[in-house]
Amino acid sequence: MILGQEIIYNFAMFISKIMDYQNLSDEQFKRRFGVYKQTYRKMVESVKSVEADSNSPSKREPKPKLSIEEQVLVTLEYWRE
């Protein structure tokens, strides 16, 4: 049980660090995630447009825990490692 709690804690800390991305300067954002903020915004727009096109009322799924913006940031952070 301790291991599960540690994983949850580490994930929560990771997400809290990700959430601070709005306060980063352009240079810090590029260093942290490997792309410029403008590129990140375009990536988010692309994912949102694909999501809007692929969602149909008959296939409702549970709401994701992370927003699309957060999902893109987590992916970029993962690719940086």
Domain ranges of the chain: 2-51+64-80
Q: What is the mean pLDDT of residues 46-74?
A: 80
Determine the Cα–Cα distance for residues 63 and 39; give it in Å rounded to an integer.
26
Where does 1-81 have alpha helices with state H? Answer: 2-19, 26-33, 37-54, 68-80
Res. 45 pLDDT band, cuts 50 70 90: very high
Mean pLDDT of 3-20: 68
Report the range of poorest mean pLDDT among 36-45, 54-63, 72-81. 54-63
Whole-number average pLDDT of the chain: 81
Does residue 58 carry a pLDDT above 70?
no
8 Å CB contact between 34 and 77: no
Distance CA 57, CA 10 (A): 35
